[in-house]
Structure 1
Amino acid sequence: MVATTLESPRVETLAGSGIQLIPKEYVRPKDELVSITNIFEEEKSDEGPQVPTVDIADILSDDRAVREKCYERIKDAAVDWGVMHLVNHGISNELMDRVRVAGQAFFAEPIGEKEKYANDPGTGMIQGYGSKLANNASGQLEWEDYFFHLVYPEEKADLSIWPKKPQDYIPATREYAKELRGLATKLLSALSIGLGLEEGRLEKEVGGMEELILQMKINYYPKCPQPELALGVEAHTDVSALSFILHNMVPGLQLFYGGKWVTAKCVPDSIIVHIGDTLEILSNGKYKSILHRGLVNKEKVRISWAVFCEPPKEKIILKPLPETVTEAEPPLFPPRTFAQHMAHKLFRKSQEAIDDSKKVQPQEQNNAETDIPQPEEQQKTVESKPQKIEILKPGEEASTSP
């Protein structure tokens, strides 16, 4: 059977067409394929490093010593990994289940119904139902569809583009966004203390209650007939301050840690939180924005709900805070607005893809080109903070996480 591309741009349609071979646009470069493995086998393994699980129930304790131990656990995870499973986070299982059910119900709608909410990034209409567009020299695509929209503050949310079915989508999502905004304050406070700053400092630096926005991207990863050749989301770091991830307990998230890809376990009742580029910049690299990606599989549909906490695009200059800079630790990042940071990373990656394409003979380009660091390059990236902050999958309005 010859792989062909169907007329519909939706991966769901492609996955349901009965194809046995995926189109070449979805096949990752040869050097990248060596690290793509069976995600279910990876998730079962207890060997090697494991993404830390942090119980934050004590963050509100009246006992100062108990609170400080909780702050230390959060700091350690942010410094060493830049990602953690949060448990006892204060958001009810009932609400998280409502969010999952609502999102799953939307993606269970016929394609024609979902297309009523289609976005059009080419015209600047980025919110809504969409699929990854090619953003690199080789035209590589990701095995996912998505729904993207701003969810907080409420007055900035355009409810006209939110799904009307199921009926609980809007109320469940709005309540969840409010709860996450409160959780963001708790984490930013703990992370401020971890840097030796006053409790509210980091939240102020990313816009405070008035300016920090939350954007949700529901990632829908259909079953893939050749998961060993594709990725749901390619390797990237998040530009956000914090990213919160909820999922349907199907594994897929991988982190590049210690020079290799580590699969995150599915921890019941947890929410995954990523430190984003914004906090890495403000902390002068003390907190890590870790390189991560999403794998797909042929057995189960995976859905994740990523909520990105982002500072205003133009009003704040992002740069290492004075308290994080010393003669021995000079500033690692130049001053930029959030918009400039996103644009710089997009330009850098686009330029690197163009440069790479010039180095490859035409007959080799389909297999050899890539616009993300390869494994040996990724190891250098993780170890070199000034370089790592430049890595991001462009597009998706700088909001990506798997």
Structure 2
Amino acid sequence: MEVLRVQAVAALSSTQNDIPEEFIMSEHSRPSSTTFTGPTPDLPVIDLANPDRASVTSAIAEASREWGIFQVVNHGVPEELIKRLQLVGNDFFKLPIEEKEVYAANPSSGSLEGYGTQFDKDLEGKKSWVDFLFHIVWPQSRVNYKVWPQNPASYREVNEEYTKCMLPLVDEMFSNLSIGLGLEKGALKEAAGGDEMKYLMKINYYPPCPRPDLALGITPHTDMSTLTIILPDQVPGLQVSKDEHWIDVKYVPNALIVHIGDQIEIMSNGVYKSMLHRTTVNKEKARLSWPLFVEPPEEKEIGPLPQLITGEKPAKYKCKKFKDYQYCKINKLPQ
């Protein structure tokens, strides 16, 4: 069945200065009426090059408790590599749609890897204003290069180089988060599957939208992952829910955004928060983002770490295989 991509919808809508009804959010969800315009605190920005390692650990733990999201600078990913990753992503989405369709995702096969359009709708049946490219980047034994674009020619090289930078950064995040809970530095990573964890790269492409006051790039959600590390571009759009307000995340040059995902909230027994977030769209410019999702193996059972359970702090979450958690969340079933 042919799927009408949002990029094509955007091209048609731009001539009419209107968008289809299924993309128009309900009044209580529209960014024009729900974005907080008063003074707001900025997301914590943490310098990973700070020689005071205890201070870095404390800042990461505090941000994960209070926000569930923070930005990191001096993270070890070269600025030149970031620019190359953004360039190949932009170049892919500039290709004719029929060329991108060669890599189309086939959800009926049980996989969302490839080029596609956000299939999930919100509870009111509204669609997100976004197309994507999605594929596993690690471990190499799980990589399906058939869904990796051959054009641009350097796509594979750049993504593999970026992934190599992500592996030690993710380890650093897990170590600091574990120590912040009073545990051994390897506790959270081991509980999440250790070296068997899966890394998935997604490029979100939000075309220009003639009615950004009415649409959302992605509707409110938390991530199913352990961690999500996002490379943004300079076009603003990420919003987080803080103190019952939707607030904009300010762009910090060369920073990466770290999200706490559902699985770390579960493993920490609620000490660390999985951040509710959404994205807005822009009338004049396309926006892209590169979230990297770090997930447990499908068969791995995830629950609160026993070291964190006491009589005063009983378990807040059930133990569940990650694949079962995914199924419940995707199908909006009780957890």
Could you tell me the TM-score, scaled by structure 2's length? Answer: 0.94
Aligned counterpart, 1:256: 241
Aligned counterpart, 1:359: none
Aligned counterpart, 1:241: 226
Counterpart check, 1:27 vs 2:11: no
Q: Pick from 155, 162, 171: which aligns with 1:169?
A: 155
Aligned counterpart, 1:318: 302
Deviations 1:320-367 (A, max 9, x none): 1112122221110011111111222234x368xxxxxxxxxxxxxxxx
Specify which structure has the higher proportion of helix: 1
Report the 3-state secondary structure (helix = DSSP H, G, I; strand = E; otherwise coil) of the residue aligned with 2:103: coil
Counterpart check, 1:48 vs 2:9: no
Matched letter for residue 48 of structure 1: T
Contact 1:36 1:229 in 2 (8 A): no
Contact 1:8 1:14 in 2 (8 A): no
Deviations 1:213-247 (A, max 9, x none): 10011000000011111100000000101001012
The share of aligned pairs that are identical, in percent, is 41
Query: Gapped runs of 5+ residues in structure 1?
Result: 1-6, 352-389, 391-402
RMSD: 1.8
CA–CA distance in structure 1, aligned partners of residues 105 and 16 of structure 2: 26
Moved over 4 A (4+): 34-38
Deviation at 1:139, TM superposition (A): 3.2
Counterpart check, 1:10 vs 2:2: no
CA–CA distance in structure 2, aligned partners of residues 53 and 136 of structure 1: 31
Contact 1:35 1:261 in 2 (8 A): no
Deviation at 1:138, TM superposition (A): 4.4
Matched letter for residue 201 of structure 2: M
Q: Aligned runs of 1:1-400 on 2, under 5 Å?
A: 9-17=4-12, 18-33=15-30, 36=33, 47-58=39-50, 61=51, 66-133=52-119, 135=121, 138-209=124-195, 211-314=196-299, 316-347=300-331, 349=332
CA–CA distance in structure 2, aligned partners of residues 138 and 260 of structure 1: 21
Q: 1:125 to 1:72 in 2, by over 3 A?
A: closer
Deviation at 1:177, TM superposition (A): 1.0
Q: Which shows bigger deviation, 139-148 or 268-277?
A: 139-148
Q: 1:337 to 1:171 in 2, by over 3 A?
A: same
